[in-house]
Amino acid sequence: MLDRIEIKDLLVRTIIGINEDERNNRQDTLINVILFTDTRRAAETDDISDAVNYRTITKNIIDFVENSRFHLVEALAEEIAKCCMTDERVKRVRVSVEKPGALRFARSVGIAIERDRGDSLGGGS
């Protein structure tokens, strides 16, 4: 069984959507990530070099998302999964991306994906 590192409610502004306004104005995106890994070695040694550095992964996600331009949240979620898999110790990742306020009468709309290291993600496989 794998352990989980959870990055919750990461709010990043980016260009996302198909409408003209969405292509010209940054919008809030709410990102949640679960990194599946084995944390036992890091727990035993208490050494950051034995741990998945979630701070580095979070910074990479923020940098990528802020500088990206996608039409679909599906494409953005897939690329975020690739960012997470750059650390070989991450065996599986679950990513959800939401656009708050994108649908009238709904708090948000989004997608959730899960990818394994064996999937053809390209990043770090």
C-alpha angle 55-101-78 in degrees, rounded to nearest 5: 45
Beta strand residue intervals within the chain, DSSP E: 3-16, 27-37, 69-70, 92-100, 108-116
| List 8, 59, 91, 99, catalytic entry | 99
* 99 catalytic residue (yes or no): yes
Count of Cβ atoms closer than 10 Å to residue 91 Cβ: 15
Q: Count Cβ atoms below 10 Å from residue 119 Cβ, excluding itself.
A: 16
| Positions marked catalytic | 99
